[in-house]
C-alpha cells in the first residue's frame, strides 16, 4: 500500500526538523517536503497531491490554505504550548508589546501561563485565510511598538509590512505526532475505500435491485440492478427526493412513515412486477431511513429456468443429427429432406410413423439444425405415463399441491423446455383434459403449475409425433380438432422399414458394427441379406436393432415366420429380383380382414368398438389397417 506523505513546511528550520527525524523516509520519497511559498500557497497542496501523496501535513495558515482544496486528508501540525512559550520568551528581546497570532485550532490558555510569561500579551486568533491577514495588518500602524509572534504565514505577512516577528517553532514531538496521524488517516482511508469497494461489488453483483433513502426521503443508495430495472441512472437520482425521481417507489416512503417492515411484497410498477423486501433502518430507536431490495419477477423466472436447465442439461440434450440417419432408400431420403426444411423454420411440427421408425431421432435432428439447438430438448412419451402423472410431469406442481407432492414443488417439462424444443411422442394417447391444457400452452405461450396462482411465460417449439392418423381420431371425437390444427402446421411422415427396402441391409450392418465394436462385423452372407429383406419388420428399425444385437451374441437370426412376406431367390441387391411374387394364404386372410374392418367402419363403428368386436387390441387393429 502506498503511504506517501506531503509536508508544507513554514520555513527551512521546520524542513530540517522533518529530515532529521525521518531521514530514511525523506530519502526514499515516502515523505515529500515543500517550503511554504507565499505567492503560490493556494496551489501547493494540489501540487503535492499531483505527486501522489495520500495525506498532507501543514501548520497554521498553511493548513487553512490547503484544507478543502485537495482530495486527500490534511493534518494540522499542532503548535504546542511549549512551542508558544519558547517563541514568547524569544520575542521579549525586542522589548516591545507582544502580539500572538495563532489559529483557533491551537490550544493556548494565557491565564494558565501569565505568571510565567510575566507580562501582558495580546492574543489574536484566526479561522481562515482572510482573517489571518487581517489579524496582522491590524497592527501595521503600531509596528514600532509591537512584535508579531506566529506561524510561517503571519510572520511572512509581518515581514512584508516591515514589522518585527518571531516564528513559532515546532517540537520534535509534534512532528512525530503529525506523521503518525497522517499515516493513521491513510490506513483508515484505505480500509474505508476497500470496504466501499467490497460493498459496491456486492451490491452490484447481487441479482436484487437495492435502493435506500435517508430519513428525509432522499436516495442514498441505488445499485446497478436498480438502474437496469427502473431504467434510471444513479447519477440522476442520488441525493434527490425519492418522490421526485422515483415516484413508483412511493411504498418506501410509506414504510418510512409507518416504520413497518414489509417482506415478500408483490408490487406492480409502471413497467414491471417486482417481489420486494422493505426494511426500516432503525438504530437504537432512531429511524435513519429505509432499505428496499427487489427483483423483477420475469427476470427471476428466466433465471430459475436457466438454473434448472444447467442442473438438468445432461438429460435435456438432443444427441442425434441428420448425418446420423441412414437414408439410402428414396422414400426415406424424401422424408429426411422434408425434415431438414422443417428444421430451418420455427413452426410446430407433426411427425407420423409406426412405432420404431425413428420419430424421436428425426425430432432431435430437427432441433439440432434449428435456431434452438443450444437450448433444451425435452422428450416425453405420452403413452408411457398415466394421465394424472403425465399432467404433473408436463406442467409441474407447487409444494403441497397434492398428497405426496415433493417438498419445494417440481418444475414441469414444459418449463424445462423454455427457449428449446418439447417433443411429445405418441400424442394420440393424450386425454382430452390434457389436450385442453396443452392447447393453452401453445396458444398463450404460458403455463401454470398445479396448485399455483401465477403464470410462467414460455418460449418453446413443439414437435409432436403419433403412430396413427390424428384426422381419424378427430372424426372419432377422441382428439380435439383445435389442437390438431395447431399441431398439424407442418407434417412429416416416416415410412415403415418394410417400405424402405434399400435401407434394411445398411442399417443392419451399421448396428452390427456399433454393437460389436469391430470394423469388419458388418460383413454378412447373401442368405442372411435375403432373409432380412424378406421380413416385414413390424417393429421397424427398433426391431432390426434388436435382431442385430441377438445376432452379435448368438450368431443367428430368428424371425417370425408369419411376417415373411416374399421370397427373393434372384436377389441382386438393387431391390429388383425379377421373380414373380407368390400370393399366399396369409395375403388372402389380410385382404379379408381389411374388408371386414371397412364394413364395420362403414356402419359407423369407432376403432375401439371394431377392435372389441374382433377381439383384438386397438394397436393390433391399427397395424392391420396400415399393412
pLDDT at residue 452 in the model: 79
Q: Could you tell me if 519 and 475 are in contact, meaning their C-beta atoms sit under 8 angstroms apart?
A: no
79-88, 120-129, 335-344, 555-564: range with highest mean pLDDT:
335-344
Length of the chain: 627
- CATH number for the region 206-296 comes to 3.30.450.20
Which pLDDT score, from 0 to 100, does residue 81 have?
Answer: 82
Helix (H, G, I), strand (E, B) or coil at 141: helix
What is the DSSP code (8-state) at residue 70?
A: S
Number of alpha helices (DSSP H) and beta strands (DSSP E) in the chain: 27, 22
Nine-digit cell string for 485:
390444427
d(CA 84, CA 105): 14
Confidence of residue 569 (pLDDT cuts 50, 70, 90): very low
Mean predicted lDDT score pLDDT of the chain: 84
**Domain 497-575: which topology?**
Helicase, Ruva Protein; domain 3 (1.10.8)
Q: Is 490 helix (H, G, I), strand (E, B) or coil?
A: strand
Q: Which of the pair, 521 or 35, is modelled with greater confidence?
A: 35
CATH no. for 316-493: 3.40.50.300
Between 490 and 198, residue with greater pLDDT: 490
Q: Which three cell numbers stand for residue 498?
A: 418394410
Do 5-77+174-186 and 81-169 agree at the fold level? yes
Query: For cell 401454470, what's the residue?
Result: 448
Contact of 534 with 562, CB cutoff 8 Å: no
Please report where in the chains the cell 460493498 appears, as a residue. Answer: 199
Q: What dotted CATH number matches 81-169?
A: 3.40.50.10660
Q: What pLDDT score does 217 carry?
A: 93
Residue 236: the pLDDT is 93
Cβ atoms 507, 541 nearer than 8 A: yes
In the predicted model, what is the mean pLDDT of residues 499-513? 91
Tens digits of residue pLDDT in 22-67: 999 999 999 999 988 877 777 888 999 999 999 999 887 777 788 8
Interval 221-247: pLDDT, tens: 998 888 988 889 999 999 999 999 999
Pick one of 3.40.1360.10, 3.90.1150.10, 3.40.50.2300, 1.10.8.60 as the CATH number of 5-77+174-186: 3.40.50.2300
Average pLDDT over residues 146-171: 87
Asked if pLDDT for residue 7 goes beyond 60, the answer is yes
With a cut of 70, say whether residue 315 has pLDDT above it. Answer: no
Question: How do the domains of the chain map onto residue ranges?
Answer: 5-77+174-186, 81-169, 206-296, 316-493, 497-575, 586-626
Grouping H, G, I as helix, E, B as strand and the rest as coil, residue 2 is coil
Q: The sheet that has 5-9: what strands, in order across it?
A: 31-35, 5-9, 55-58, 74-76
Average pLDDT on 193-199 reads 69
The stretch 302-313 carries a mean pLDDT of: 55
Percent of the chain with pLDDT over 90: 36
* CB of 431 closer than 8 Å to CB of 317: no
The conformation of residue 477, written as its DSSP 8-state character, comes to T
* Rg of the chain, C-alpha, whole Å: 46
Q: Give 613's pLDDT tier (boundaries 50, 70, 90).
A: confident
Amino acid at each position: 500500500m502506498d503511504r506517501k506523505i506531503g509536508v508544507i513546511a513554514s520555513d527551512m528550520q521546520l524542513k530540517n526538523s522533518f529530515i532529521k527525524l525521518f531521514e530514511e523516509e525523506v530519502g526514499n520519497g515516502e515523505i515529500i517536503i515543500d517550503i511554504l511559498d507565499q505567492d503560490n500557497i493556494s496551489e501547493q497542496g494540489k501540487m503535492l497531491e499531483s505527486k501522489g501523496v495520500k495525506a498532507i501535513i501543514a501548520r497554521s495558515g498553511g493548513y487553512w490554505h490547503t484544507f478543502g482544496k485537495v482530495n486527500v486528508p490534511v493534518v494540522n501540525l499542532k503548535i504546542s504550548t511549549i512551542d508558544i512559550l519558547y517563541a514568547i520568551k524569544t520575542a521579549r528581546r525586542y522589548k516591545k508589546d507582544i502580539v500572538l497570532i495563532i489559529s483557533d485550532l491551537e490550544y493556548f490558555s494565557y491565564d494558565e501561563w501569565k505568571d510565567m510569561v510575566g507580562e501582558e500579551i495580546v492574543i489574536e486568533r484566526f479561522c481562515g485565510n482572510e482573517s489571518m491577514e487581517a489579524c496582522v495588518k491590524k497592527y501595521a500602524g503600531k509596528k514600532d511598538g509591537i512584535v508579531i509572534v506566529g506561524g510561517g504565514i503571519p510572520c511572512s505577512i509581518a515581514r512584508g509590512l516591515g514589522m518585527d516577528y518571531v516564528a513559532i517553532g515546532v517540537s520534535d514531538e509534534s512532528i512525530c505526532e503529525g506523521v503518525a496521524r497522517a499515516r493513521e488517516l491513510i490506513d483508515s482511508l484505505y480500509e474505508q475505500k476497500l470496504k466501499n469497494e467490497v460493498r459496491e461489488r456486492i451490491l452490484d453483483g447481487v441479482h436484487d435491485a437495492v435502493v435506500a433513502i435517508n430519513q428525509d426521503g432522499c436516495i442514498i443508495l441505488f445499485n446497478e440492478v436498480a438502474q437496469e430495472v427502473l431504467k434510471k441512472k444513479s447519477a440522476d437520482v442520488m441525493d434527490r427526493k425519492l418522490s421526485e425521481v422515483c415516484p413508483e417507489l412511493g411504498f418506501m416512503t410509506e414504510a418510512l412513515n409507518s416504520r413497518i417492515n414489509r417482506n415478500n411484497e408483490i408490487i406492480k410498477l409502471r413497467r414491471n412486477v417486482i417481489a420486494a423486501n422493505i426494511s426500516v433502518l432503525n438504530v437504537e430507536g432512531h429511524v435513519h431511513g429505509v432499505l428496499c431490495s427487489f427483483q423483477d419477477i420475469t427476470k427471476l423466472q428466466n433465471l430459475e429456468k436457466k438454473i434448472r436447465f444447467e442442473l438438468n442439461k445432461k438429460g435435456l440434450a438432443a444427441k442425434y443429427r441428420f448425418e446420423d440417419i441412414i437414408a439410402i432408400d428414396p422414400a426415406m431420403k424424401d422424408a429426411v429432406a422434408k425434415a431438414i426444411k422443417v428444421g430451418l423454420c420455427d413452426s410446430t411440427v407433426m411427425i407420423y410413423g409406426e412405432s420404431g421408425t425413428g420419430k424421436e431421432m428425426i425430432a432431435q435432428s430437427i432441433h439440432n439444425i434449428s435456431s434452438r439447438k443450444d437450448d433444451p430438448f425435452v422428450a416425453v412419451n405420452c403413452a408411457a405415463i398415466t394421465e394424472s402423472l403425465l399432467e404433473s410431469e408436463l406442467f409441474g406442481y407447487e409444494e403441497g399441491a397434492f398428497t405426496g407432492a415433493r417438498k419445494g414443488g417440481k418444475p414441469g417439462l414444459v418449463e424445462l423446455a423454455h427457449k428449446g424444443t418439447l417433443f411429445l411422442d405418441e400424442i394420440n394417447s393424450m386425454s382430452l383434459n390434457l389436450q385442453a391444457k396443452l392447447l393453452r400452452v401453445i396458444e398463450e405461450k404460458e403455463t401454470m403449475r398445479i396448485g399455483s396462482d401465477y403464470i410462467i411465460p414460455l418460449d418453446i417449439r413443439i414437435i409432436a409425433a403419433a403412430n396413427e392418423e390424428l384426422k381419424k381420431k378427430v372424426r372419432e371425437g377422441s382428439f380435439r380438432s383445435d389442437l390438431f390444427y395447431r399441431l398439424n402446421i407442418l407434417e412429416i411422415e416416416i415410412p415403415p422399414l418394410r417400405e424402405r427396402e434399400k435401407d434394411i441391409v445398411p442399417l443392419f450392418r451399421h448396428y452390427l458394427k456399433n454393437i460389436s465394436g469391430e470394423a469388419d462385423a458388418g460383413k454378412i452372407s447373401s442368405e442372411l441379406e435375403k432373409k432380412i429383406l424378406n421380413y416385414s419388420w413390424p417393429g421397424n428399425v427398433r426391431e432390426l436393432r434388436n435382431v442385430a444385437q441377438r445376432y452379435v451374441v448368438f450368431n443367428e437370426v430368428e424371425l417370425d415366420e408369419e411376417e415373411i412376406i416374399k421370397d427373393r431367390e434372384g436377389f441382386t441387391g438393387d431391390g429388383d429380383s425379377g421373380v414373380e411374387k407368390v400370393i399366399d394364404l396369409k395375403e388372402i386372410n389380410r385382404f379379408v380382414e381389411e374388408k371386414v374392418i371397412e364394413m364395420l367402419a362403414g356402419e359407423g363403428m369407432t376403432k375401439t368398438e371394431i377392435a372389441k368386436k374382433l377381439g383384438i387390441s386397438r394397436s393390433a387393429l391399427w397395424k392391420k389397417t396400415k399393412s
